[in-house]
Each structure stands twice: as structure tokens, then as C-alpha cells.
Structure 1
Amino acid sequence: MSDKTTSSGGNPDLADFGPDRIRNVVLIGPSSSGKTTLVETLLAVGGAIPRAGSVADGTTVCDFDEAEHAHGRSMSLSVAPLVYEGTKVNLIDTPGYADFVGELRAGLRAADCALFVVAANEGIDHATTALWRECADVGMPRVVAITKLDHARADYDGVLAQAQAAFGEKVLPLFMPVAESGDLVGLVGLLSGRFYDHRGVGVRPVPLEDSPAAPQAAVEAELRGTLIEGVIEESEDETLMDRYLGGEEISEDALIDDLERAVARGSFYPVVATCASGIGCVELLDLLVRGFPPPATHPTPSLFTPAGVATDGLPCDPDTTLVAEVVKTTSDPYVGRVSLVRVFSGTLDGDETVHVSGHFSSFFGVDGGHAEHDEDERVGSLGHPFGKHQQPAKRVVAGDIALIGRLSRAETGDTLSHVDEPRLLRPWNMPTPLLPVALEAATKTDDDKLPEALTRLAAEDPSLRIENNPETRQLVLWSMGESHADECLNRLRNRFGVNVDQIDVRVPLRETFARRSTGHGRHVKQSGGHGQYAICEIEVEPLPGGSGFEFQESVVGGVVPRQFIPSVEKGVRAQMDKGVRSGHPLVDVRVTLTGGKAHSVDSSDAAFQTAGALALRDAAESAGVAILEPYDEIAVFIPDDLIGAVMSDLSSRRGRLLGTDKDDDDRTVVRAHVPATELVRYSIDLRSATHGTGTFTRTLDHYEPMPDDLAARYLG
């Protein structure tokens, strides 16, 4: 690990690797931390491309689409492989912006280990800590790469100290960067005690005393002692610490073996310093190959039959039953739907027929545009991904990642398995979209194309939810934030040719009577021939919130024939659905039919339905109507130092605080009841107030009267 001096160069056939010689490494880090640049530098150092930022045809490896160029950041994951020291390393680049946490979680699902990227000129903030927590939640082994050491404001020592404070004492450097005349020239290996000279072609190890690092020998010795003690603490040899403290010199090979085992089990997080010139990248590749675990050591997600019956897991073995998962879906205008797939077991062969299982709603309760499906489909083109390019493949084995073309029904999160032994993987935890965007087709042509385009959009992105709200009669796209919503609308326009307008989101309100009242409904028409005749008298009284609707009758003397009493109730219910003042449903009232009149010939079911509706509207004129608004119970997850600001903001939204709970060491959950009308843009405001670190959940709790000044807007 410590003596690597050259890169392997060149990429052989990417299919010539078994599970034990594959590493799936996801790059995690905040936006602008340098993940994509690091990927391209590693590809260049590893010989996969001639130079950072290029492939054979001169285009970039991690191509940005038009929207990504406009935003200046990556908004989707991409995969690029390289071969280093006989091992295939699939580098999975993910977005660092909070709006695209769905892509991040897909990358975590596809990977077995993570390269956590932090910029030396930016340091550790709450957003970076939140990303570390995402890795910790799935038990992902991690190596930390501190990038941009050549930046004018780089502060390696400061960022390292911040990382150790934020992530724990097991975050320890393996190398110390060395500068000469202000320029980074190499690294000191803290285990080997050698200087790795990057001045010139390749990497040249030289004795420490003959290097520019000689003046830093005391610092190097202190860091080396801390590193060795940290490695020994993780050793399975319980005698090692006593031997070390007793003065015994522990061999470098023994320390490296213990280090690699600790990294693989996710209990130790070594730090490597890097920059775009390539310094640190050979050392980092060596660590990724030797320290990170192969796919077989990573637990396979829970496995079921399509009927939902749990089954035994399968080994990461090319010779067993096929189980793979779609971790990303895109739509190409020329080849149709393209699926990025992680193969967990078995072998995926080109042109074979696979079973596609999609059971999103079974696990998460809502389909959000992801209807359940089970069907057989033939694999179209099969290849190894290389950014937005691919290398054709005849087969892809367990542990590897593939691109499949023309699976017409496969969606992100779906399982691919053998047609004779269908299986279903439990999808990874999808983030809940909390920003609603109401859409309206720009033209009739757009209206015709919109449903299909939204279906395809939902198939690509499980972090979207599409809602046709029957109460507000709006089409609502629930997204993760403004950038996510903008990117989705951009895809609708540029990829699917559908233009939509954004309109104000309507919150489903309710009406109820403000006080007890009576109403008179008269529906009498005589226009020759059979007429219509129905008169009814009703009393209406409000009920406590959540009581619903009650209908009673106290008719005396048969003034309303018995067969027409249900007709009055039906008419009242129909009018309640329409509302009596603001167009919102009427709830929580008791209606009593007290009297009326009928005609022996002209009375009918329809006439008394109309009379019942008219009577309810008449009662509302004298009683007055109160507007009820929904209150959600929300739980806001925030860093401890932002509690005051968040609680103050919730109070300004007419929220009622319910209390706080501790989430973990440095995070708190604030709970409150807040009107839903005040939460339409809360995901945006919370992200701004908490620098991207705050999240929240919401569930409908109850309805209660809206203040008169606000209700006046709806009562006209």
C-alpha cells in the first residue's frame, strides 16, 4: 500500500473480472468538493483515459447535460471503471446537492464502499456531516480524500482537524502533504516513513531525510505514532498494543494488514490528500484496491418472492441464480429507456429474458406514479458503463455494474431475476419529496403528451411523486426542492417535448357551519306535462371537529313521504361535496329534516334531491360558514445550534410547538402542529435557514378554523 510508485495503465476487457477482483466505490461529498474532478484524475492516473477530463473521442468522461452546465454542478450519478493492479474499480460519482439525495442513495445501493470527498479550501459544514450520516446509516466502509490541496485557500491541517471533530477519532491520515516554495510536491507515508516524490513523471519513493519533508520530521513522528496506535486499537491481535507500548517495533506489513481489515469492516477511516495534478491518486488507488472489500463481503439486501414472502439471501456468485437491481433509469431519444443495473448474484447475459418486478407501493405505501408490475422482458443491448458511454458486453457477473438498453418497463428500484425463479429485492429507502409544484399543460398537444411523459419521469426518479388531487383538481409534482423541480421540468421540456406552466398550489380546505341554522328548499316547476315538486325544511348544527356528517329526520304527519327522505339526504350530501360558499367540501354538521311538502304526481327522487341541496345552501346564508384548514404534525430534524431559529420560524407560521427530542449526539427533532397552507414552500425555507442540513416529515393531523382575516379570501 505504501510503496506504490506507478499506475498500471490501460484498460483490458472489463468483463474479465470475477467478484473478488471488483471494487464498487461511490464518491460522496458536498457540492463543489471536487468529486467529478477526482474521478477523472483517478481515471487518468489509472490509465483508463489519456488525461483527466477526456476519453478517446475528446469528450469528457462525466458529461454534463444542459441543465447541469447551467447549474454548474452534477445532478445525477454516473459510473466510470478503471483497472488497477488487476482489479476493476467502478467509480460511482454522485451529486452533492441536497435536492438530489435520491441519486446519492442510489449510488450507495450500487456500491460496497465509499470515498468521502472533502475540499481543503471549504472544510466541514453541516451539509458535509449530513452526507457522512447517510453513509453511516447503511454501514458503508469509508476512506476520506481531502482534495484541492493546490487551491490558494487550502488548509489541510484545519480541514483534517474538522473532519476528526465531526466524524470521530478513527479518521486518521495515512500521508502528510509536503510543499516546496508554496507548491505541493509529494506526500510522506506515515507508516513507511518515506517521501513519495511527485516532481517529475510518476511517483518516486525517497528516504525522508533526503526530501523537502525533512524539516517536518517531528510533526511526522507525532502523526505516525497516533496512526499506529489507532491501527493497533483495531487489530484482532489483542497482544499487539502491549507489545507496541513495550517498545517492540511493529512491522509495516502487519500494520497494513490490520489497517486494511479495519477499513473493510468500516471501523477505521484513513485520510489521503489529493489534488487535480494527480498527487495522492496512486496512493489512493492502492488503498481502494487493497483496503476496500470486494462485493461478496457486502450484505445483500433483503430478498423476497414477488408475492412478498421472504427468502434466503444469495451469494455473490456468478454461478448462482440471477438477482440484479435497477439503480438508475434514463430515457435516450434514440435507444429508449436505459437501465443502470447492479448485479448482486448470478450472471446477466446479453439477449436473455429476465423477470422484472416492481413493487414500490408494497414497501412504501404509495405508488407515486410507480404502479406494481411483474413481467418478462428480453435484455437489449448490454454493456459496461463509462460515464455516458459504454463498452459492449456479452455478460456481466455478480458484483459488477451494467447498462441495459430497451427494458421498456423496468424502473429505478426494480429487481431483475431469472424467469423461472423470480425474486424481489427490498428497494433502498427513498427520500420523501416535500415540495409541491402544481402543473398545467401549456397547450392541448402538451396535455395529450403529459401523462406519458410523467410516467416516464417517475420511472427514472423514485424521489418524485405525482399526484392527481381530486379535491383541488390539480396535477401536483412532489419534488425534493427547487433545483430538483427545475431539473424535472427541464427534462419534461427537452427530453419529452412537453411544456407546462407552474400554477399556485391549492391546499384542500373544508367548510363548516359557524352556528345552528335552518334552511328552506323549494323546487317547484310546472311547464306543462309532468312537473317537479319538492319542498323541505331542515335544521343544521355544527359538530365537533372530525365528527363527519349526521342526517336525521323528525317529519310529522308524512308531509315528506317516507320514500323521499333518502332523496333529501342524497341531495344534502351532494351539496356538501361541492361546498356552500367557497367551493370546498362541507364537513362536521348534523342535518335534520323537519318538514316539507310533496305532490302526489309531480314529486320525485330528483326533485327532493334538488330541494335538499337548496335547503342546505339557504341555511348557510343565515348561519355563516367557517373555513377549516388542515394542520400537519411535522417533525423537523436539525443541528442543535439551529433549534432557536427553527422554532421561531415555526411560530411565525402559526405553528404550535409540541416539544423537542434528541435525535443523536448533535441533532434535535422539533415537533409542531402547523397549518398546511404555511408549509407549501417550507422545504425551501428550511433548507435555506439550515444551510441544507434540515429535513422534516409531515402527516395530516386535523382540521381547525382558519383566522377570519385569512378566511375572508376564500369566502368572497
Structure 2
Amino acid sequence: MADKANAHPGAAGRAAAADHPAAIRNVVLVGHSGAGKTTLVESLALASGAITRAGRVADGTSLCDHDEIEHRQQRSVQLALAPLTWNGIRINLLDTPGYADFVGELRAGLRAADAALFVVSAADGVQGSTRLVWEECAAVGMPRALVVTHLDAARADFDEMVTVCQDVLGGDDPDAVIPLYLPVLGERGADGSTPLTGLAGLLTRRLFDYSGGQRTEREPGEGRLPRLTRARNRLIEGIIAQSEDETLMDRYLGGEECDVKTLVADLEKAVARGVFHPVLPAAPADGSARQCLGSVELLELITGGFPTPDEHGIPAVTTPQGAPRPALSCDPDGPLAAEVVKTSSDPYVGRVSLVRVFSGTLRPDATVHVCGHGTADRSGQDPALHEADERVGALSAPFGKQLRPLDAAIAGDLAVVAKLGRAETGDTLSSPDAPLLMAPWAMPDPLLPVAIEAHSKADEDKLSHGLARLVAEDPTMRLEPNPDTHQLVLWCMGEAHRDVAVERLRSRFGVRVDTVAHEVSLRETFASSVTGRGRHVKQSGGHGQYAICELTVEPLENGSGIEFVDKVVGGAVPRQFIPSVEKGVRAQAAKGVTGGYPLVDVRVTLFDGKAHSVDSSDAAFQTAGALALRECASRANIHLLEPVAEVEVTVPDSYVGAVMSDLSSRRGRVLGTEQAATGSTSVRACVPEIEISRYAIDLRSMSHGTGRFSRAYARHEPMPQQQAARILQEAAAAGGGH
């Protein structure tokens, strides 16, 4: 904080050796798309001297250079690391995408960081997705601060924005969200916008003026003092309320002037504990010092108020077999425990891993044990572990498009590791002599199914490798071959996530794919009992084919499968051919009897038939069994069964009515509601899967980004007759093959 630096110079940041965790700050930037996170990172880089006035590093590229996809889409789609140095403190800024589809990148940033900087736009307000992440951080006690951007926009108001933040994010203690500085505004332009010319420090009552192109300090002037005094008193009261010194409030109420150094020290402690959340105004960098307004003050807050890695907790560890291990500390000399928070592919380097070192020291050319939980599927079973020993390649820190070599990465630091060929996102790196496994961090389940096909034969040969690499890099993506529809389904977070996946397959792995309509796994069953006859009699020059069998098919309860019963008497069908009939029946059931969907939940009874001493054979009775089943189907009323999912939708209370109405329109049956958290409700319902293929997108739109849901297969149920008839007609027109 500039206030802090002026209060007691040289105190910015805790005194620490350059190779000690106390000289590191890991900060993740959070905010909705367009709030200005990436621009703010460039402002901080400019203020710290990491880039020039023109916004370029030594190699001529931007510190926050985007990949080809980000350039084309004009938004961040992946986690980016920007290391800076300020007053001898190394700051690792983790810039996260603001779009909801890329929440996996955000979760990785939260895992790697020790504090969060929430960026909110005065032009757009606090988005619902930002509030959800704030609540996640609050649940784990992560320190947070807020930066208000776009204050030069028309009708932007800093005081109003602070009030909104207090109401939306303050929870039970809105006074914990208080500004440290007030913006100083220039003359209003013809378009209604008002440029920022400086900041007024509340604790020191000094004005930091940027209007002349350089940051200068002066008295605020008599006209600004009343507003400054009111805001300062509220700030002091907020700091005192969170102070560990219980006598400070009594002294303040008694009229004693609080020492600024004491207030700053208490402020730092409250921020580091995650109970006080300062708000700072900022203007983006465009190459001029004035437009970098607020960056120096923010760097001081990061180095002075945010916790060091050794003040932040370390995830629990076990052995790969699950045996408990002693808790680790952030000690460079301790046992090695690091985690891959992100993996990506570089066309020249190969696989690149961003690693957070929690304990010990990671060195180039060392051998490490790689252990991970694997990728879960929709079966609900625990994913299998994968383990391997690998040699660490070069360690580096990204700087623009360059990777600057590192001699080592100590506990608390972040580094890029090249060529960890078997490491996936979320894997633990430890010593081969003492393998460890860290508890995984929570990742949302991808809920948008996308069926993909190789564009050509050449793409088909490379498809499996490209998809395997893609899923290993992104734990919010899941690959699922559907044995019923024979589709290859890629589960994504949303349409933008899907588009990026398809583009990465093309650009990184040279695989072109087409997306096709996703099909759900339909079934067929009999609505009533029916009898049919299968006759397969053919004569030719040699041995002929002769088999006749008679079947009864009757419906069973849901989930019963196919039950085959032998009630043949008197040897009408020889014993050796009864298994042949069953085999033919089951083969035909698997292919379906009307629309090409598997037949389920029926009992098939063989009760009569005929055979020939010479021409009967295993193949003939298989064919006769299939024909008999098809004849039964032609005489019966066939129900088309569709999969039904049990969904749980959690939304703010104001959206519950809209959600329940929408679920009903999707043929859903609401099972009940219950209070989820303060101001939120969970709605449980059973909904046909065919109706919720795009629900991940629709719910986000309906709830303005504040809703979330989970789904799990429940059962198959009969589809409405009109809809079933339409689907069967389409299947018949397509040839009935699935």
C-alpha cells in the first residue's frame, strides 16, 4: 500500500531473504469476462518495470501474450502466469478467464494461489459468477481484495460500486469491504465519462496525483477533506473491529488518535486472515504513467497485506495407497510435494506443466514420482491411480513468450516444467523414495455433451491420441464412448469450451473433427404379452436349413434386462439347439425390433418348435429365434424407453420459480426443494435426458450465471407416444440402424 509505504518507509512486504517463501506472493485475479483482469496485470507489470511504457518485454512481446485462440475470440480462455518483482518480493500473478465455460482454469488458479484479487467493473457491476467464486473463497478463508476498474466509463460511480460490493459480497459483515483510497476525478467529458487523475489515501490523508504524467504526492485540499474524513473514519472503525488488540476500540472511542503504523499493521493482519477486504480504484495501462493509476498502491497491498506461502495452508497428503502422512509445512528443506495445476502442449517443447511447489525444492534434472487420481467417468466409481517416475526437464518462469530459466523452485513458488510426459493436471510430484499424493481440488462436472466425428480417414488415425492429450490437460473435459449410440461424446462446460476444444484439436494436434447431434441411449420394450413364430426353412442342392420355434414375450419390471425361459416339452426343439435359440433372441434384442434400439425388460419363453434330423443346425435355430422375436414385435405394442436423469439445481431464491417452470416444460417432475445456503434453494427433479442436453447453457442464461446443477442417471421410462412415433419414424427413414 502506498499509504503503508509512506507511513513507515521500507515496510512494504515482510522482510525475507530472496530465496525464502516469505519473499513470495501468489495472487489469482478473479472477475467476469471484460472486467479488465488482463489489462490490470499489464498495468502492474508496467508499474513494477517488468515491461516498458509501450507494454513490451525485452523480446518485443506482451507480458500477457495470448495464444491464437485468445486473439481470435478476444477473451482469455486459459490460466496465465505473470511473475513480477516489487521491493524484493516476487509476485506470481495468475490471470484467469472470466467466462464461465473455463471455470477449470479458475479453479486451478485458486489452487495455486494464496490470495485472490477480485476485479469488478464499475460499468457492469458484480456478476453472479463473481459472487459464487467469492463465496468459495470465503468458505476456505482465502484472503481477498477488490479492484474497481472502468471508473472512467459514463455513469460510473465508485461510491455506488463500493456499496454494491458491500451488499453482494459483504455477507454478514458489509463493513469488512471498505476502500483504502478514493478516486480523484477530472473534468467530465462530452460523452459523460470522467477520467481519473489521482487517488486520495485515507490513512495518510495524502493525495497521489497522476494528472501531470508522473505520480506526485501533495495535500488533498480543503474541499476534499470532509469526504475524505468520513471515509477515513469508517475505514479506521473497520480496521479496529477486526483488530486483535481489544483495547484499541476503547481508546478510539475515548478520543485517542490512532497511530497510523498500528492501523497499517492491524490492516495487514486482518487482510492476511481473510476477514477484511480492502477496495482499491484502478485505471488500465495504455503506456502512460497516468493511466497506470492505482498500480503502485495495489502492489504495496499485495506485498504488504497478502499472506506469504508459509502463512497459507497446504493440502493434506497421503501415500498413493491412502495411508495418512504427517502434515507438511512450506519448508524449502522439507520433503518434496508439488502439484501440476495446469498442463498444455507446445508445438516445439511438447507437454508443458505449470507446477506449484508446496514443500521442498524442485530442481532441474531431478527424478520425481508422478502420482495422480486419474480421470473420473460418469459411473460414479473412483478413478484409478496412475504412477510413474519421471525426470524433470528444465525449470523456467514465463515472461512474454520467453521462458526464463530457473535454477530451482522452492516451497511456495510456481514454475513451468517441460517434458513431464506422463503428468496430468492435478498430479502430485514427490520424491521416488517417499511418494505422496495430495488431496484433489474440487472440479465441476462437465454437463454439455458434444458428439464428435473425425473429419476424414487421416484425422481418424490421430483422433484418439489428440483427445487423450486434450482430456489429460483439462480435467473439466471428459471423453465417453457411448456403446449404445456408437458416438464419441466429449463432455464440456459450455459452447465456448467446446469450440476451444475443437480448435485445439486442429491447431495443436492436427486433428479436424465435426460435431454432430448428440443422441441419448434409447431402449425398446413390449407393452403386453404376445406370441410369435419363427420359421427358417431353406432347401438347396446340399444340406438345407430347417428350424422353427415359437416364443411368448411378456414385459418385466424396469431394469430386469432380458430373461430367457425354456418350456419346451417332448423334444420339439432338441436340447442342443435351445441355447442357439437364446443366442439368436439375445442378438436380435441387442439390435432392436422396431427402431434399432436395444430391447430390454422382457421375458422370452420358448415353448414349442420343430427340427429336422439332417437340415437343422445351430445357425438355423439362431435365425429362427431372431425371426420369432421380430414377429412378436410386429404384433405387439412397443414402448420406446428414454433415459431419465435425476437433477439437482441450485439457484438464488429469486430464480426458483423460473427454474421449476422451465423443468416442467421439459417434462420434468419436481421431487422437492430445500434450502441450500443463505438466499439459495436446491430443486430436485427427474427430467428426460433428451430434454437437458443443453441445460448447462440454458440454466446459465436463465439464472444470469448464478445457477449450477448436477445430473445422474436414474432409469429408463416410456416416452410419450407422439414423440416416440416421431423418433421411430426418423429411425426407419434412416435405415433403423444404431
* TM-score, length of structure 2 as denominator length: 0.92
1:9-48 pair list within 5 angstroms = 16-48=18-50
Query: Which residue number in structure 1 is paired with residue 481 of structure 2?
Result: 468
Letter of the 1:64 partner, please give it.
H
Post-superposition offset of 1:549? 2.7
Is 1:657 the counterpart of 2:673 in the alignment?
no
Identify the range of structure 1 (384-393 vs 141-150) with the bigger mean alpha-carbon deviation: 384-393
SS in 1 for 2:509: coil
Out of 477, 482, 486, the residue aligned to residue 490 of structure 2 is 477
Task: Output aligned runs, 1:355-394, within 5 Å.
Answer: 355-361=369-375, 372-394=385-407
**CA gap 1:242/1:696 in 2 versus in 1, 3 angstroms:** same
Partner of 1:192: 204
Q: After alignment, is 445-454 or 349-358 more displaced?
A: 349-358
**2:411 partner letter:** A
**Matched letter for residue 346 of structure 2:** D
1:566 maps to amino acid: P
CA contact (8 A) 1:329 1:339 kept: yes
> CA offsets per residue over residues 590-617 of structure 1, 9 Å max, x none?
1111111223344333332222222111
The AA in structure 1 aligned to 2:305 is G
- Amino acid aligned to 1:477: L
| Cross-structure match for 1:11 | none
Aligned twin of 1:273 = 281
Q: Is the 8 A contact 2:375 2:475 kept in 1?
A: no
Task: Note the 1:215-614 alignment, pairs <5 A.
Answer: 215-276=223-284, 277-361=291-375, 372-614=385-627
CA shift, 1:446, in A, is: 0.4
Q: Shift of the alpha carbon at 1:93?
A: 0.3
Residue 178 (str. 1) matches residue 184 (str. 2): yes
Counterparts in 2 of 1:502 and 1:314: CA distance versus 1, 3 Å: same
Q: Offset at 1:679?
A: 1.0
SS at match of 1:36: helix
Residues 560 and 595, structure 1, Cα contact 8 Å, conserved in 2: yes
2-structure distance, mates of 1:112, 1:462: 22
Q: Deviations over 1:506-554 (max 9, x none)?
A: 1100000121100111223333444433221111111232233322232
1:57-77: per-residue Cα shift (whole Å, max 9, x none)? 222111122221222211111
- The letter of the residue matching 1:231 is I
Which among 135, 150, 170 is matched to residue 152 of structure 2?
Answer: 150
Structure 1 residue matching 2:481: 3-state secondary structure: strand
Deviation at 1:367, TM superposition (A): 9.3
| Whole-angstrom CA distance in 1 between matches of 2:240 and 2:359 | 35
Instruction: Give the CA deviation at 1:137.
Output: 3.8
Asked if 1:93 corresponds to 2:99, the answer is no
Q: Is it true that 1:205 corresponds to 2:217 in the alignment?
A: yes
* Cα gap change, 1:580 to 1:68, in 2 (>3 Å): same
1:694, distance to aligned residue in structure 2 (A): 1.9
- For 1:166 and 1:34, the matched residues in 2 are separated by 20
| Secondary structure, aligned partner of 2:118 | strand
Tell me by how many angstroms 1:586 deviates.
Answer: 0.7
Question: How many positions carry a matched residue from both structures?
Answer: 706
CA distance in 2, matches of 1:389, 1:659: 55
- What is the letter of the counterpart of residue 31 of structure 1? S
Q: Aligned partners of 2:728 and 2:495: how far apart in 1?
A: 31
Q: Return the offset for 1:365.
A: 6.8
Which segments of 5 or more consecutive residues in structure 1 lack a partner in the other structure?
9-13
Q: Is the 2:370–2:389 contact (alpha carbons within 8 Å) kept by the matching residues of 1?
A: yes
Give the SS at the match of 1:641.
helix
Deviation at 1:563, TM superposition (A): 3.4
Q: For residue 16 of structure 1, report the CA deviation from its aligned partner.
A: 4.3
Aligned counterpart for 2:52 among listed residues 43, 50, 75: 50
Which letter does structure 2 place at the counterpart of 1:312?
A: P
Mapped to 2, the partners of 1:63 and 1:676 lie a distance apart of: 41
Counterpart contact for 1:344–1:399, Cα < 8 Å: yes
> How much does 1:362 deviate?
7.3
Show the counterpart of 1:4. 5
Partner Cα separation in structure 1 for residue 587 and residue 638 of structure 2: 17
Q: 1: CA distance between counterparts of 2:573 and 2:517?
A: 46
Give the Cα separation in 2 of the matches to 1:35 and 1:519.
Answer: 70
CA contact (8 A) 1:532 1:603 kept: yes
Equivalent position SS for 1:4:
helix
- Name the CA distance, whole Å, in 2 between partners of 1:532 and 1:365: 44
Q: Which residue of 2 aligns with 1:105?
A: 107
Q: Distance in 2 between matches of 1:367 and 1:358?
A: 16
Cα drift, residue 51 of structure 1: 2.6
Identity percentage of aligned residues: 58
Report SS of the residue matched to 2:716. strand
Would the alpha carbon gap of residues 662 and 587 (structure 1) be closer, same or farther in structure 2, given more than 3 Å must change?
same
CA separation of 1:289 and 1:363: change in aligned 2, threshold 3 A? farther
**CA distance, structure 2, for counterparts of residue 259 and residue 78 of structure 1:** 29
Q: Residue 223 of structure 2 aligns to a residue in which SS?
A: helix
Worse-superposed segment, 294-303 or 186-195: 186-195
The corresponding residue for 1:626 is 639
- Aligned equivalent of 2:164: 162
Residue 150 (structure 1) shift: 2.6
Deviates more, 1:419-428 or 1:179-188: 179-188
Give the whole-Å Cα distance in 1 for the aligned partners of 2:685 and 2:629: 36
Q: Distance in 1 between matches of 2:102 and 2:142?
A: 19
Q: In 2 relative to 1, CA 518–419 (structure 1 residues): closer, same or farther, beyond 3 Å?
A: same
Which deviations, in whole Å up to 9, do the C-alpha atoms of 1:347-405 show, x marking residues without a partner? 1111111111122247997799x974211111122111235432111211110000111
Note the C-alpha offset of 1:467: 1.0
Q: CA deviation at 1:52?
A: 6.2
| Change over 3 Å in CA distance of 1:139–1:388 after alignment to 2 | farther
Preserved contact between residue 4 and residue 282 of structure 1 (Cα < 8 Å): no
SS of residue matched to 1:506: coil
One-letter code of the match for 2:349?
Answer: V
Matched position secondary structure for 1:643: helix
1:699 positional shift: 0.6
Q: CA RMSD in A?
A: 2.2
Which is worse superposed, 606-615 or 396-405?
Answer: 606-615
The question of whether the paired residues in 1 share the 8 Å contact of 2:61 and 2:400 is answered with no
455-464 vs 562-571, greater mean Cα deviation: 562-571
Write the letter of the residue equivalent to 2:101: D
For the 8 Å contact 2:522–2:643, the answer to whether it is kept is: yes
Taking the aligned partners of 2:223 and 2:439, their CA distance within structure 1 comes to: 55
Alpha-carbon distance in 2 for matches of 1:367, 1:51:
54
Bigger drift between 14-23 and 495-504 goes to 14-23
The SS at the match of 2:292 is coil
Q: Distance in 2 between matches of 1:381 and 1:148?
A: 40
Distance 2:158 2:4 in 1: 23
| Secondary structure in 2 matching 1:541 | strand
Q: Which among 707, 713, 716 is matched to residue 720 of structure 2? A: 707
| Distance in 2 of aligned mates of 1:565 and 1:423 | 56
